A and B are shown apart, each in its own frame.
Chain A
Amino acid sequence: MNQISWQRALALLSLLLCLSVGAFAQEELKIRGLVKGGDDGEPLVGAAVQLVGGKAIPTNVEGKFELSAKMGDVIEVSFLGYIKESITITGDQALVIILAPASKVTSEILVVGYGTTNRKDAVGSIEKVSSKAFENIAMPSFDAGLQGRAAGVSITQQSGVLGSAVKVNIRGNNAITGNGNPLIVIDGMILYSGSLGNNDLSSRDSPVNASNYNTLANLDPNDIESVDILKDASATAIYGARAAGGVMIITTKSGKSGKTKFNAGYYAGFNQTTRKLPMLNGPEWMSLYNEARVNDGLQPLSGNQTFNVNGINLTPNTIANTNWQDEIFRQGIVQNATLSASGGTDKSRFFIGGSYRTDEGMLQGNKFDRFNVRANLKNNATDWLEIGIQVNPAYTKNRMVPTSFNGGIGAAQSNALPIFGTRNADGSYFGTQRAQGYNTGNNPLAALENEYLSNTFNMLGNVYAEIKFLPELKFRTSYQINYTSQRESFYTSGINRYANFNVNGRDTTFGLADLKERTVNALNWMTSNYFTYEKTFASVHNLKAVAGFELNAIDQEDVGWFTNNGAAGFSNPYARRLSSSIAWSQFATDQQKGTSPTTGYNSFFLQRWDSYFGRVSYNYDRKYIAEFSVRTDGTSNFGPDRRYGFFWSVGAGWNMSDETWFSAALPFVNLSKIRASYGAAGDPGAIPFGWEATYGISGGYQGVNGLSLNRLANPILQWANSRKFDVSLDYGLFNNRISGTLTYFNTVNTAILVNRGVPSSATGYIQTVYLNDKNAEVVNQGVEFTINSINVDMPNSLRWSSNLNLTFLRNKVTNTNGLGPDAFGDSPGDTRVIQGQPLGISFLAQSAGVDPQTGKEMIYVVDANGNRTGAVVEANATTVPENRVAIGNPQPTVYGGFTNELSFKGFDLSFLFSFSLGNTVYDDGGKRQIGGFSTTWNQRREVLERWQKPGDVTSVPRLTSNTSAGNWNNIDRFLYDGSFVRLKNITLGYTIPREWSSKMKLASCRVFVGGTNLLTFTRFPGFDPEVSRYQFSATDGNIAASAPYLATPQMMTFIGGFNIGF
């Protein structure tokens, strides 16, 4: 076998050539050099050192090189991210070459689909957020850390519940029923964009948590090197059918050749709520209850008169005065520790690390632990073969708490009345079945006896090989698996469970603890294989091409079981996790005892992808750039005739500032680049097999199950199409001290996937059909503006830089095919899809205030066009639906962030304000908190301004206990300006001078304190303007996010910690 590779032969040949040339040369000098980076003074390993006209050699692991040269020769030293340096040999034989870091404005490396590019050559709109945004900030997951960092990217953490989902929206909302989320790619692995965590037990038996969980929460933010956000067609089209919502490419850290560096970080702090909602206290509530009784023609309660509210008997003399928010909120401790090592030789690089996070959150009972390990290894097996592996096992333990309609903080602002106590005199929980023989949902503390655990093991593994056939031709093959195993165990204490039994002719209430469990196993595997060709012709024609294919399969299976009903459970309270100890109670009927006390179930989710892609980029002298990309995606989501979709983009750019006439005319402009792109990406929808009508198991008769049709067939179902246009100006002024981008974008979404209403008389419970709406269009257009500036730059003293990004967005449903507001479903909180309005617009009756004479809530009467006729009418179930109008704006007109970074000597300070302006929030719980119906919920303090007597002018109607009196109607009185500006995070750090740290044998040492959500400026009177509604479907996420119901506010977090390198 020939052990000598052809490269080696080539090298030998060139060496011979050199030698032969050298034989005729004059005196050779032996040059030894060291290359360092100008930013941190660290040696640069692998920098290219090239004698002009000769072959480049890399610097070794110490950043050193050796070569022979003659006097007057020129060597060029270059390294990615640094400005190329040319040195003329003058006789000095020991060179120290310090490369100045290149301005990010032009040289920043951008990760794109199946390759990389740099700012100067890029045509697409790509935002890069570097590790700084995630490190040592008390963010529960990296995606929350993106908030305010990138233009065009809107980030909303659903709530302050630990691990709650983060809604990422790139350049507006493009989908109705489809999946509006961006595609997430981690080190080349395309993650399944649906959410595993949504599929919890909330849809079965009894709902438990009203919060969606974030599957990205198992990724340690400190492992992330950068996140590249792809926004326009040019950047996204190569991801084809899944890229309508944009793409986020996450690159994890990798080692650099050189001395092994260790990094240890730790921080600890506490969480608390950003706000408490002002609610009534016990005596106030009691007096309003009596007022409602009097208004209803009843006598006020006497002191010892028993009354029953929410199933609990009380007398006015025995009421408590409990502030349930104080009971539910707490200061929770958060701790985060990471340890990593990175380094390598010229052949191998590694990054290994581990982290542990334990977070108690601001809600009693809530706890989130994350165990994370990572190994990223690369090896240059030969000079033509690079192999590597990235492995990231992570385990999260999430102790969930009920929120919103399920209790907890949701109950604390609704049915947990202030007149209820927390405990009875004997120490048992107040209001539980043992005490009262009834409902237990009114005592959020008792509910904490339940235990809802969701433990997730997630494994990301990526192995690849990259073969260099020729210097300009590479082939890369990778094989990736993402395996998730989620185990959920929901234990309900006997205190919170009750069943009625007929015992000897008497009704008896009895509660047994129970358990239900679920395991999800999901395997997502993928292989991508592609060639990259990169060559410069005639030194000005730069060509780069990529072509390849990809296969991806997702297999998910759920297996679970639940306890059948209240008559079954754990008779032995100590065996509370053992399924075999669940049995029927002694009071169960004979029929029940003849059946199993538990029921098992399973379900499946399958998806396959078969994809082909390619891209050609060409530039002339890095001045004139053209790019073309394509992708064909096939998916099992669609029927055999419509499986494959074709996606494409074209783009062009012009580095105007490189023209000599330009730099002559405007010498202070370092960069002026115009680029534009147009193309199509797609949305495969969120429903697998959505084209196919099937019969599935259904409710039956006489104890035998039946069969029913789940939907109507639509074999022509296919991709939604997202046409994206983008034109941008990148600028850099005054030595790039001021730089940024100005962009206009316009995305037109057609063939949108919708669940459109069909007359239910035709199909019974199948009340929608899933189709591409032929004419419906959703348009997002807007302007993004970023400005990065270095405001002060005094060497070794004060440095101050800032970044402001603004996105002006206009989202509009331009056509609904003539269908009315309710045709796409009545989304929660009366949010709708209406022609001419933004997606998810509120569709509400307009409050005309409270009639001063009657105290009744009045609304404006509108005609068929939604215009007020001038008349007003009392709000009730008949009048409200007939007088609704589209109102408000669910999406901000401007959003963005403002970051400032200051450093002085060893101190550094950074802070980020994020903001969202011009949007409305529909407070869906408001109708029952300040609606005038006061007898089952606690009320917000605004209700004290209620109408009491004729002549009162107020916005809160007359109190009543009658549900039918026009209360509970969705009217615009509960639609508020949701604009806010929030100090998202602030960090103050101090880096100990190197002399001191080196004495401690440390390479570096920094201590810091920081905070999250410390300040909020808003006029929103509800709990928190920055929350979104829980979602039970992708549609809810697209449409109803702006109508929170019994929200959980965001957390405020304070931390302090340190980072040491050694």
Chain B
Amino acid sequence: MKKILINGLVMASLALGSCQQFLDIRQPDVTPYDKALNDVNNVEALMRTTYNDLQGYNNFVRSSTMFGDEVDISRQSQDQFGADYITRNFGRFNGIGEGLWSVGYSGIFRSNQIIKATLANEYTTSAPIRSRLLGEAYFIRGYMHFELCRQFALPYSAGKTNPGVVIRTVAPAFADEVQVVPRATLEATYGQAIADIKASLDLLPETPANGRLGKDAARAALARIYFNMVEDGSSANYQEAKTYCDQLVQSGKYKVTLPMNTFSFDISRRGIIKADTGIIFELTNTLSDDAGGSLAGAFWGNTADNVFTPILTGSGSLLLALRNFGGLRYDTLVLNRDGARPYTAKYAGGTGIPFKNTPVFRYAEVLLTRAEANLQAGGDVPTSLADLNAVQAAARAPLTTTTDRDQLLDAIRLERRVELHLEGDRYHELRRLKSTNIRGASYNDSKSFFQIPNSEQRANPTIVLN
């Protein structure tokens, strides 16, 4: 009996041991990286997360507004990093800059993963879906490079040989594949953005699903980028901008509508054809996106006591421009107009709609870009005036009648300020036009935008600081 017992115990315990398979367990809730992108459904899911990064556009808009002269930033809620917009003492640890840098490069990183998997044919799908996924990835990669330049580098107008941001076109998968890459010049970075978006123009569908990128978004993006690429003594980029605007105008798909909060709608109305709206591309938000600090959170308080960022008042202010030239944009979008803290209803949405979409490209911007680009490139006055008047008319604002090129140019810029207020445009306009007084800072002052954040600096010794 003893023998049986001993042998049994020893054998049983020894039998338990020495099995390597024992260690072969996998995480039950994730997919290994080398398998994940073999399935187009997973690539689509990765693309949704890439769009999630693109939704960070909210914060690019907010930050551009904080840099500029539209709102009273001293009245924003007390926030340590937000306060840096006032003093312009941007350090490497500024959390807002860190967030923008991360979200921008996250979109780029994920786009690179999709581009890599698609080009290597890691998954199989139909040609149109493959083309769309590749197009979306190229677009987001290119557009993020452009937006990052606008937050972390001097404007193109200050000289295209100045440092832009780091260009990233490969997706490392292994820890030892990460490369240290220095900042490229503005010219190279903008060049990358344009090349990517041009590539996406060939790939994206003409009629995208709601809230997804299509060819028109690529055209609008190219117009915006070229419009920002101011070069002394050359109007070639204005001509490029005009070309893409022309394509959008000539399509006849869009018209100007106002006020803005009537066209920003919620996801429950997905599928509505926007041909009758002024939207070329918007990011559709959900409840959680809204709660996460969308534009509504940045600019729209619930009551006059609770306004995060009131519109600046006084001479030369946005409020004055809206009052004199805004038409409906003053009447319906500015609340508490004569109070101490006027604020915007631009992102308020309609009653009962708790979350708002984020417009990225609007037709009004295209018309105004074309109006100015046309003049800058030596085009005729009537074309520009017609574009300007179209925007003004929709807003029931006084129509400009001048035929003087300089006066018309001023009128277009004024209209742009009014029409695109709080959409992140104004600050970049001031920089494009080489303003030496962007809330006291000059367009070529490296203190007027973010420092390269710590998450880059600490691991990239090649970084040239702003």
**Measuring CB to CB, which residues of chain A are less than 8 angstroms from any residue of chain B?**
1, 5, 308, 382, 384-385, 465, 467, 469, 475, 477, 500, 502, 505, 507, 527, 529, 549-551, 553, 565, 589-592, 602-604, 606, 608-610, 612, 634-636, 640, 643, 688-689, 692-710, 712-715, 756-767, 769-771, 819-820, 822-823, 826, 876-882, 935-936, 962-964, 968
Do A759 and B166 touch across chains, with their CB atoms under 8 A apart? yes
Q: A565-B291, A713-B173, A714-B175 are in contact. Are A604 and B27 (CB under 8 A)?
A: yes
* 14 contacts across the A-B interface (CB closer than 8 A): A549-B18, A693-B33, A699-B49, A701-B49, A706-B50, A708-B46, A712-B174, A759-B166, A760-B459, A761-B181, A761-B460, A763-B105, A767-B102, A880-B91
Minimal Cβ-Cβ distance residue in A for B447: A878
Minimal Cβ-Cβ distance residue in B for A970: B93
Roughly how many angstroms separate A963 CA and B456 CA in the complex, as a whole number?
26
**B30 to chain A: which residues have CB within 8 Å?**
694-696, 710
From B13, B86, B287, B459, A823 is in contact (CB under 8 Å) with B459
Q: Which 9 A-B pairs have CB atoms at the shortest separation, nearest pair first?
A: A764-B106, A706-B49, A964-B83, A822-B458, A706-B48, A707-B45, A694-B30, A760-B455, A693-B33
Do B31 and A695 touch across chains, with their CB atoms under 8 A apart? yes
Roughly how many angstroms separate A260 CA and B351 CA in the complex, as a whole number?
79
Do A700 and B166 touch across chains, with their CB atoms under 8 A apart? no
**A697 to chain B: which residues have CB within 8 Å?**
29
Q: A604-B27, A702-B286, A763-B105 are in contact. Are A826 and B49 (CB under 8 A)?
A: no
Do B42 and A760 touch across chains, with their CB atoms under 8 A apart? no
Minimal Cβ-Cβ distance residue in A for B176: A714
Q: Does B234 contact A (CB under 8 A)?
A: no
Do B23 and A760 touch across chains, with their CB atoms under 8 A apart? no
From A382, A465, A820, B9 is in contact (CB under 8 Å) with A465
Q: Does B172 contact A (CB under 8 A)?
A: yes
Q: Does B255 contact A (CB under 8 A)?
A: no
Q: Does B321 contact A (CB under 8 A)?
A: no
Q: Does B84 contact A (CB under 8 A)?
A: yes
**A608 to chain B: which residues have CB within 8 Å?**
22-23, 25
**A822 to chain B: which residues have CB within 8 Å?**
454, 457-458
Do B17 and A529 touch across chains, with their CB atoms under 8 A apart? yes
From A527, A705, A882, B48 is in contact (CB under 8 Å) with A705
A308-B305, A603-B29, A767-B102 provided; 11 other pairs, C-beta below 8 A? Answer: A604-B27, A640-B24, A695-B36, A700-B45, A707-B45, A761-B166, A764-B102, A819-B459, A826-B458, A880-B91, A963-B83
Roughly how many angstroms separate A762 CA and B107 CA in the complex, as a whole number?
11
Do A5 and B2 touch across chains, with their CB atoms under 8 A apart? yes
From A469, A689, A769, B27 is in contact (CB under 8 Å) with A689
Per-position 1/0 for B429-455, Cβ under 8 A of A: 000000000000000000000010111
Q: Does B89 contact A (CB under 8 A)?
A: yes
Per-position 1/0 for B349-386, Cβ under 8 A of A: 00110100000000000000000000000000000000
Roughly how many angstroms separate A591 CA and B83 CA in the complex, as a whole number?
36
From A502, A640, A709, A877, B89 is in contact (CB under 8 Å) with A877
Roughly how many angstroms separate A764 CA and B284 CA in the complex, as a whole number?
23
**B27 to chain A: which residues have CB within 8 Å?**
604, 606, 688-689, 692, 694
Q: How many whole Å from B30's CB to the nearest CB in chain A? A: 4
Per-position 1/0 for B1-30, Cβ under 8 A of A: 110011001101110111110111111111
Do A760 and B102 touch across chains, with their CB atoms under 8 A apart? yes
Roughly how many angstroms separate A593 CA and B172 CA in the complex, as a whole number?
43
Q: Does B394 contact A (CB under 8 A)?
A: no
Q: A549-B18, A877-B91 are in contact. Are A712 and B175 (CB under 8 A)?
A: yes
Roughly how many angstroms separate A502 CA and B32 CA in the complex, as a whole number?
45
**A964 to chain B: which residues have CB within 8 Å?**
80, 83-84, 86-87, 89
Do A820 and B458 touch across chains, with their CB atoms under 8 A apart? yes
Do B178 and A606 touch across chains, with their CB atoms under 8 A apart? no
Q: Does B94 contact A (CB under 8 A)?
A: yes
Roughly how many angstroms separate A758 CA and B45 CA in the complex, as a whole number?
25
Do B2 and A770 touch across chains, with their CB atoms under 8 A apart? no
Roughly how many angstroms separate A753 CA and B463 CA in the complex, as a whole number?
26
Q: Counting chain A CB atoms within 10 Å of each CB, which of B92, B175, B286 scores highest?
A: B175
Do B52 and A698 touch across chains, with their CB atoms under 8 A apart? yes
Minimal Cβ-Cβ distance residue in B for A706: B49
Roughly how many angstroms separate A507 CA and B107 CA in the complex, as a whole number?
36
Do B29 and A700 touch across chains, with their CB atoms under 8 A apart? no
- Could you tell me which residues of chain B, from 315 to 335, have a CB within 8 Å of some CB in chain A? none
Roughly how many angstroms separate A551 CA and B17 CA in the complex, as a whole number?
7
Roughly how many angstroms separate A699 CA and B46 CA in the complex, as a whole number?
9
**A758 to chain B: which residues have CB within 8 Å?**
178, 459
Q: How many whole Å from A941's CB to the nearest CB in chain B? A: 24
From B80, B93, B181, B456, A881 is in contact (CB under 8 Å) with B93
Roughly how many angstroms separate A880 CA and B89 CA in the complex, as a whole number?
10
Do B93 and A877 touch across chains, with their CB atoms under 8 A apart? yes
**A635 to chain B: which residues have CB within 8 Å?**
23
Q: How many whole Å from B10's CB to the nearest CB in chain A? A: 6
Per-position 1/0 for B100-116, Cβ under 8 A of A: 01110111111001000
Minimal Cβ-Cβ distance residue in B for A822: B458
Roughly how many angstroms separate A466 CA and B173 CA in the complex, as a whole number?
51
Q: Does B274 contact A (CB under 8 A)?
A: no
Roughly how many angstroms separate A591 CA and B267 CA in the complex, as a whole number?
10
Do A769 and B87 touch across chains, with their CB atoms under 8 A apart? no
Q: Does B165 contact A (CB under 8 A)?
A: yes
Q: A759-B180, A820-B458, A963-B79 are in contact. Are A591 and B92 (CB under 8 A)?
A: no
From B5, B84, B107, B453, A764 is in contact (CB under 8 Å) with B107
Do B23 and A823 touch across chains, with their CB atoms under 8 A apart? no
Minimal Cβ-Cβ distance residue in B for A591: B268
Do A467 and B6 touch across chains, with their CB atoms under 8 A apart? yes
Do A877 and B174 touch across chains, with their CB atoms under 8 A apart? no
Do A507 and B87 touch across chains, with their CB atoms under 8 A apart? no
From B1, B50, B90, B458, A877 is in contact (CB under 8 Å) with B90
Minimal Cβ-Cβ distance residue in A for B104: A764
Minimal Cβ-Cβ distance residue in B for A876: B89
Q: How many whole Å from A518's CB to the nearest CB in chain B? A: 16
From A549, A703, A712, B286 is in contact (CB under 8 Å) with A703
**A764 to chain B: which residues have CB within 8 Å?**
53, 102-103, 105-110
Q: Counting chain B CB atoms within 10 Å of each CB, which of A529, A709, A769, A820 scores highest?
A: A709
Minimal Cβ-Cβ distance residue in B for A830: B93
Q: A477-B13, A591-B354, A757-B459 are in contact. Are A696 and B29 (CB under 8 A)?
A: yes
Per-position 1/0 for B157-182, Cβ under 8 A of A: 00000000110100011111111110
Q: How many whole Å from B104's CB to the nearest CB in chain A? A: 8
Do A610 and B19 touch across chains, with their CB atoms under 8 A apart? yes
Q: A695-B30, A695-B46 are in contact. Are A761 and B175 (CB under 8 A)?
A: no
Roughly how many angstroms separate A793 CA and B217 CA in the complex, as a whole number?
92
Q: Does B126 contact A (CB under 8 A)?
A: no
Q: How many whole Å from A877's CB to the nearest CB in chain B? A: 4
Roughly how many angstroms separate A550 CA and B211 CA in the complex, as a whole number?
56
Q: How many whole Å from A638's CB to the nearest CB in chain B? A: 9
**B92 to chain A: which residues have CB within 8 Å?**
881
Q: Does B72 contact A (CB under 8 A)?
A: no
Minimal Cβ-Cβ distance residue in B for A709: B33
Roughly how many angstroms separate A150 CA and B352 CA in the complex, as a whole number?
66
**B302 to chain A: which residues have CB within 8 Å?**
500, 507
Roughly how many angstroms separate A845 CA and B395 CA in the complex, as a whole number?
54
